[in-house]
A and B are shown apart, each in its own frame.
Chain A
Amino acid sequence: MEPQHGDRPHLSGPSLYPIAFAAGVACILVGLIVSPLVIAPIGAGIAVFFGYLWARDATMEYRKTPEPIEPERAEAAQAAPAAPPIPAHEGEAAMPEPEPGERFPRSRFLEASTLGLGAVIGGLVTVPVVGFMVVPAFKGQGYPSVDLGPLENFPEGKWFITTFFQHPEAGNVSRRTVYLRNNGQLNGEPSFTIISNRCAHLGCPVQPNGPIQSDQKAVDKEKAGQRVTRIPMIPAGGFGCPCHGGQYDPEGNRTAGPPVRALDRFNFSIVNGHLVLGAPFSVTHVDGEGKNAKIHAAKLAGPGQHIDGWEQVFYPVQPPH
């Protein structure tokens, strides 16, 4: 007996719907981070729309109305007595004929619904779990202001290794270090150079190339879990990284080694006569020095990430900090 559709199995041709569907899913994921209320629903819309089109496209074969076969069968039945019987080792195995006019047999429906239901249950379980794993790493990240103490703790022109807790509630694990110097007054405002100790190569702690006066270490009284320490030092030779040998001048400009830019810096403000540390930012390079320095600033980037030159195209988006 001839097959009902007398041609080779039809494999659906290449389709752009899966790609558009994937783009929608990617849009959801990006939207969850960037803006859960606008981008993510748009992505969901795209995914649902193209997912529907994809499913419709993929199942077109099955849903196609079968060609009318009733007349042929009647004909075949009439011709049957004349035709020689097909030998057992030839032809197709005897299978139950599809019910005439049955477009979507029960077994296939059950198959599809089992798979579909399984996929829905799997998704319901997986999506929140994966979100739980990924999203907290990007939410509520930031650099809360830190009170480093009264201005008179930082005499003009002197460098200090200053450590503090970025998140006092997290304790010692959040201890960070900055190298800071009071540059004196600039246009009637106090000026500070506050350099992060995070190497711009791969994030090791850079060290001052010069004497560190550890015997003059001062520890501020603990307040609300915060603990600020100050050690005077003289970074005559700038800063150097112990890990891979990156070298910087006292303004944080790279002078040698693998770092891709200058050392990061911190914003600051003066509140009630106290020096208050703000958020860090990245720096391509610094012209001049002290209070007259011209800082070429950029958005905070991770160590090793270029923020100038053609290589910056590799890092177009930064996670929200």
Chain B
Amino acid sequence: MAVAPAKTRKSERRQKMGAAVTYPLDWLEERSGLVGGIRYFLFRKVPGDTNWFHTLGSATLTAFLVQALTGAILAMYYQPDPATAYQSINHITNDVTLGWLVRGMHKWGASVFIILMFFHMARVFLFGAYKYPRELNWIIGVMLLTVGMLEGFTGYLLPWDQTAYWATVVGINLNGTAPILGPFLADFLRGGAEIGGDTLTRFYSMHMLLIPGLIFALIGLHLYLVVRLGVSSPPWSREAAGGLGAGADYEAPSGNGRVGLTEPTARSGYRRNGDE
């Protein structure tokens, strides 16, 4: 008899605490739909017989986020000037607290990022996950590979030591041997006829502003398509994968998705197509 009321009180308190925790979430959900959005973003049908190979994409994303974070912090100490770039790298490595660690993460993480991209690409290729309806995501992935390697090329110059300098000379001159436009491409990359201070600052800007922005945008598209189409089943699996929607692998093309964009809508008063 004495136990029951105590139990009820505890339950009430727990309920109140639960409500206190969920109230802000409900508040957010009611105003933005973000809580459900996270569910929509992260929850997918994944076959039971999938394996670790399906984690390579997230691993690549993680590697990129590490690069973005460590790169942003390194930019607080690095000086993209021909006279001081090398000294500032020395300063980061030897003087700044934990600078050796952050620079090391960025330097080695760059290789990890590229290697993981190739592993991820191999997984997609060998599993046949690039096939309909995911061709576009393969194309975006190839773009990501290309701009990712551009990141490697532009970042390699920044330590401004002998290896960096001559590797960049060779890299730019390789671009210069492209037919017709090669000589112009090389001058554009150098910011002139010869490597100099402009080359360093322009590579710095490309490395930490232009290309990362492009990569973020492409990753956004890449993930949008993953959310829309879901993951693919491994070749050996008999289970359907895909989005949450009724087991469908993808949304059936509706055909009228272009209404209002490339097809005139009725509101304009023009109905030029006889159907629908």
Residues of A at the B interface (CB closer than 8 Å) are 2-10, 33, 61-62, 92-93, 95-99, 102, 105, 107-108, 111, 134, 136-138, 141-143, 166-167, 170-174, 202-205, 243, 301-305, 314-319, 321
B170 within 8 A of A: yes
A-B contacts, 27 of them at CB < 8 A, read A3-B272, A3-B273, A92-B271, A93-B266, A98-B269, A98-B270, A102-B269, A105-B269, A108-B270, A134-B188, A137-B190, A141-B192, A166-B194, A170-B196, A170-B197, A171-B82, A173-B195, A174-B194, A202-B173, A203-B169, A204-B166, A243-B166, A301-B183, A302-B183, A305-B182, A319-B184, A321-B193
Lowest 7 A-B CB distances belong to which pairs?
Answer: A98-B269, A314-B179, A304-B177, A9-B273, A302-B176, A141-B193, A95-B266
**For residue B63, which residues in chain A have a CB less than 8 angstroms away from its CB?**
none
The distance from the CB of A180 to the nearest CB of chain B, in whole angstroms, is 19
Q: A137-B188, A304-B177, A319-B183 are in contact. Are A173 and B196 (CB under 8 A)?
A: yes
The distance from the CB of A307 to the nearest CB of chain B, in whole angstroms, is 12
Measured as residues with beta carbon below 8 angstroms from the partner, the interface class of chain B is 35 or more
Determine the main DSSP class of A at the interface with B.
loop
Residues of B at the A interface (CB closer than 8 Å) are 82-83, 166, 169-170, 172-174, 176-177, 179-180, 182-184, 186-188, 190-198, 263-264, 266-274, 276
Taken together as a complex, chains A and B put the C-alpha atoms of A305 and B68 apart, in Å, by 37
Identify the closest chain A residue to B268 (Cβ): A108
Q: Tell me the number of A-to-B contacts counted with CB atoms below 8 Å.
A: 123
Q: Cβ of A137 and Cβ of B187 under 8 Å apart?
A: yes
The distance from the CB of A112 to the nearest CB of chain B, in whole angstroms, is 11
Q: Cβ of A9 and Cβ of B263 under 8 Å apart?
A: yes
Which residue of B83, B173, B264 is within 8 Å of A203 (Cβ)? B173
**For residue B264, which residues in chain A have a CB less than 8 angstroms away from its CB?**
108
Q: Cβ of B196 and Cβ of A136 under 8 Å apart?
A: no
Q: Cβ of B173 and Cβ of A303 under 8 Å apart?
A: yes
Taken together as a complex, chains A and B put the C-alpha atoms of A171 and B84 apart, in Å, by 13
Q: Cβ of A6 and Cβ of B183 under 8 Å apart?
A: no
The distance from the CB of A103 to the nearest CB of chain B, in whole angstroms, is 11
**For residue B172, which residues in chain A have a CB less than 8 angstroms away from its CB?**
203
Taken together as a complex, chains A and B put the C-alpha atoms of A153 and B197 apart, in Å, by 31
Q: A137-B188, A319-B183 are in contact. Are A4 and B271 (CB under 8 A)?
A: yes
**17 further A-B pairs in the complex, CB-CB below 8 A; given A95-B266, A202-B174, A319-B184:** A3-B273, A9-B272, A62-B270, A105-B268, A108-B270, A137-B192, A141-B192, A141-B193, A142-B193, A170-B197, A171-B82, A204-B170, A301-B183, A302-B176, A305-B183, A314-B182, A315-B183
Identify the closest chain B residue to A98 (Cβ): B269
**For residue B266, which residues in chain A have a CB less than 8 angstroms away from its CB?**
93, 95
Q: A3-B274, A9-B263, A302-B173 are in contact. Are A173 and B82 (CB under 8 A)?
A: yes
**For residue A321, which residues in chain B have a CB less than 8 angstroms away from its CB?**
193
Q: A9-B272, A137-B191 are in contact. Are A304 and B173 (CB under 8 A)?
A: yes
